[in-house]
Structure 1
Amino acid sequence: MSDEKWDMYELLNHFELVEWEFTNMANLVLETLDLDECELETVPPAITEIEYYAFRDVQAVSLNNNPNITNADILGKLLDMQAINMWGCRLTTIPKSWVNLHKLQVLGLGNTPTLKGYGPLRNLTNIQWLDLGGCGLKSIPQEVTHLTKLTVLALGKNEGIEIDDSLCCFWNLQRLALNECALKAVPTPIYSLIRLTHLHLDNNMLFSIGQQIVQLKALEELSVTGNDNMSFPKLLSQCENVKRIIVDENLNLSHISHSLRKKMQVACRELQPAV
């Protein structure tokens, strides 16, 4: 695609106010340049001119599903950037120029199995929302462990990922997604995340939730659909903060206490209480 099509004035038509989802960061409503699914082959160079000539800052950019895009390093020039979403863009490394993006809070790089270089992340310590789902990870990259302000971490669809004690450094984490990771047991380090409110373990190979789940005093929602013959500890019914346990419709409830059943809801368009 030629640069001429994406001159500065054309880009202005793609701005909108977006409240980023899957996060409870207060008041994160950003002026966003939305170029999703535009068959881009490069990040438009004119993006750097907008804030100088149009008197508006580029606070966020969404470039999802542009698999052939290159020149992502140009985003490192936009020092007011708070959010970048590049889902399915086939990046191989996070550009070195991004180390300048000290205001960055949201980074979505899901569905990028080609991504191998994470170096700049160690400097982006203000990131609170990170999506590395479907990136072919076998462990949490060491650079990610520097992001101790994370409140949301999506690691789903990384089959065979090993969750070790490095997870414990995310002491501010509130939402964790480990769906479709071929887990056979709930990783023990999860139980140290005392601020965790939402835990998604759908479509794994789990048979039970351990008694240690009661250590998650802040937990409000547990989602375990797609795990056959799940069993739950009785003490889970005494966890007052747990409002919802999302389960499959065919879950055998015969060995589950009535008090725990009341917390369960079947996964469907309109979540209905299990009976």
Structure 2
Amino acid sequence: MEDSNIPELLSARLLFTVKPSLDATSLAAALRQEFKQVDNSEDSLLYFFPDYPVTFKEGELPAQVMVAAAERPSGADYLAAALQQSWHWSEAATVVAMCDHEVIVTDFMTRTLAYTVRVELFQKALDAFVQLLNPQAIYFTTSDKVVEPVAYLERGRAVLDGLLKVRFFNIADSATQEMFLDTLGLHALGLPDFQIRFADLDPNQVVGALMSYSYYVFEKGPIIEDGNTIQGITPADKWICHYTDSLIGPERLVIQLETAP
């Protein structure tokens, strides 16, 4: 088991029913509504952000965001698993089925930035593109989550919206009707996700707890140590934290929560 997760590129796919027009100048203008400085050449969909410098051994470069158009892949639907876990948006499957076109947004040369800075850069850039292009849905790759664009733009202080998902699974052949919940998305920032197996708790309350723990780790850093206890659903509940490999893919380091008696 690795000591930590390796940061991954952040990526979102904007889904459309009608093929969008990608004009480099218009996209740059939209970005400048969110950022003080944005550089790019007139015919390039690669954007540079001088206010977000990234330091390497060879020197310093500005963080970058890339945009690319794509057609929906044929064959097996890569969104099938995401749509099965779209409890937050009941119309997701219907909307996605009508979309044949995509615009892919990815951060680049950013993985050595502080993860809070990366999230700020990526989410602000995505805000600009969503408002300009008006997609019908947004798919976040690292969290395998489909999000309604209007809800995304109205997220307020929920800075991890889209980049973080809580997944729910019923455990087959469980005599006590056990359930399994985990988070997906923190691993892409180099942080641990969470997982928990239980039978006698309200799953909606567990979802709320996992979201709270995720934001705590995002704001404070990976300060939870193996063997620490944290408050569960009520002040009287003490859950024990253990670092381990994820039980459900993708493979990553997670904090497994044990509901202490």
Same fold (TM over 0.5): no
Q: When you count strand as a share of all residues, which structure comes out higher?
A: 2
Q: Using structure 2 for the length normalisation, give the TM-score.
A: 0.28
Q: Using structure 1 for the length normalisation, give the TM-score.
A: 0.27
Structure of higher CA gyration radius: 1
